Amino acid sequence: MASQDWFDKDFYSVLGVSKDVSDADLKKTYRKLARKYHPDSNQGDAAAEAKFKEISEAYSVLSDTEQRQEYDQIRAMGSGARFTAGGQGGAGGFEDVFSMFNQGRGGRQQAQDFDDIFAMFNQQQGGGFGTGRFGQSTGGFRGYGGPTRGADVTARTTIDFVTATKGETITLQGEDGKPFKVKIPAGVADGQKIRLRGRGRPSPDGGESGDIVVQITVRPHPVFTRDGLNLRVTVPVTFTEAALGATIEVPTLGGDPVKLRVAPGTPSGRVLRVKGRGVETAKGTGDLLAEVQVAVPSHLDDAAREALERFQSLEPKENPRAEMMSKARG
């Protein structure tokens, strides 16, 4: 920012605060405005991006005690004066400012004040307002917080369940049409975001580039589901397997099936655990959780029906819902 801008811009109005605003209220107001106008929340909105830069500029100056004091002094000096180049207009502008310092003083004191004014604006060596403290590329007074960071770019991709579980490096196309690679870590979850530092839009004034933020969508698997690092699978068993016990095969993700022992009298919903056959990541490895589900036959031939009816006449006369009904009645 050039020095002239310090006369022209009212940072208090930009942030909507009074000149005696406290540091705490200043920070609170800035954070509210920054969330509202942040480029990530207003992608493609040039007006919002400009507003965000404007409020950031204002807060950078007003949140620094020394800069705020100097800004207030310069604004006070500029209430009726402007620096102009050369000629009578230029002389008049300087006289308006110096009149604040020279009322009732002699020539020697005026000369000293003259030096003080130029020292404030870093003019002792003949520099212009575009050099020294006012000459930062995005800096304004004392550098105004440094160069502007480039904007982030959001990308989205959908991957299959196995890729999300095992991990893989994939290639996506950037907004400029150029391909870029993304390393998908093993165990990435649906909805998770991967941030590629410095791969976003460049800074407009030599600062660091923004990031690419890749949001991941994971396609469901027809058999397996995720439970943290564990994999879940529902395994149907017959009534006789559950009642009498059996050894069954259970699938694993991308590997050979494993054999599990179903104990006699196993009910629906019981979970059998296979250690170490879940999601394998740098943070650990999960298990395979096989939930037993008793499958009821939908079609019976006459012989099977007769056998079940004989069993029904012999099974214990217990009501499996009795305890539940008792608890429901309170």
CATH code, domain with 213: 2.60.260.20
End-of-domain residue from the set 83, 108, 143 = 143
Residue 182, pLDDT > 50, answer: yes
Reported as a single tens digit per residue, the pLDDT across 15-52 is 999 988 998 899 889 888 988 888 777 877 888 888 88
Reported as a single tens digit per residue, the pLDDT across 266-281 is 999 999 999 999 999 9
Q: Are 202 and 240 in the same domain?
A: no
End-of-domain residue from the set 190, 218, 246 = 218
Range of the structural domain that residue 239 is part of: 225-323
* Mean pLDDT within 115-128: 42
The DSSP letter of residue 317 is -
Q: Are 238 and 192 in the same domain?
A: no
> What is the distance between the alpha carbons of residues 20 and 26, in angstroms, rounded to a whole number?
10
Q: Which amino acid is at 110?
A: Q
What's residue 77's pLDDT? Answer: 67
State both tokens at 13. 């109005």
Q: Are 36 and 123 in the same domain?
A: yes
Side-chain-side CA neighbours of residue 58 (13 Å): 25
253, burial (CB in 10 Å: exposed 0-12, middle 13-18, buried 19+): middle
> What is the distance between the alpha carbons of residues 125 and 287, in angstroms, rounded to a whole number?
73
Least confident of 6-10, 75-79, 268-272, 306-310: 75-79
What's residue 266's pLDDT? Answer: 95
* Mean pLDDT within 73-97: 50
10, part of any domain? yes
At 27, which CATH number?
A: 1.10.287.110
Q: Are 113 and 15 in the same domain?
A: yes
> What is the distance between the alpha carbons of residues 307 and 295, in angstroms, rounded to a whole number?
17
Q: Are 68 and 200 in the same domain?
A: no
Place of tokens 């000149």: 19
CA angle 147, 151, 157 (to 5 degrees): 155
End-of-domain residue from the set 218, 235, 254 = 218
Q: Are 42 and 122 in the same domain?
A: yes
Q: Are 139 and 157 in the same domain?
A: no
Reported as a single tens digit per residue, the pLDDT across 184-221 is 999 999 999 999 999 888 888 888 999 999 999 999 99
Reported as a single tens digit per residue, the pLDDT across 130-151 is 333 333 344 434 444 568 888 9
Whether 273 contacts 287, CB under 8 Å:
yes
For the chain, how many structural domains are there in total?
A: 3
Q: Are 108 and 195 in the same domain?
A: no
**3-state class (DSSP) for residue 57:** helix
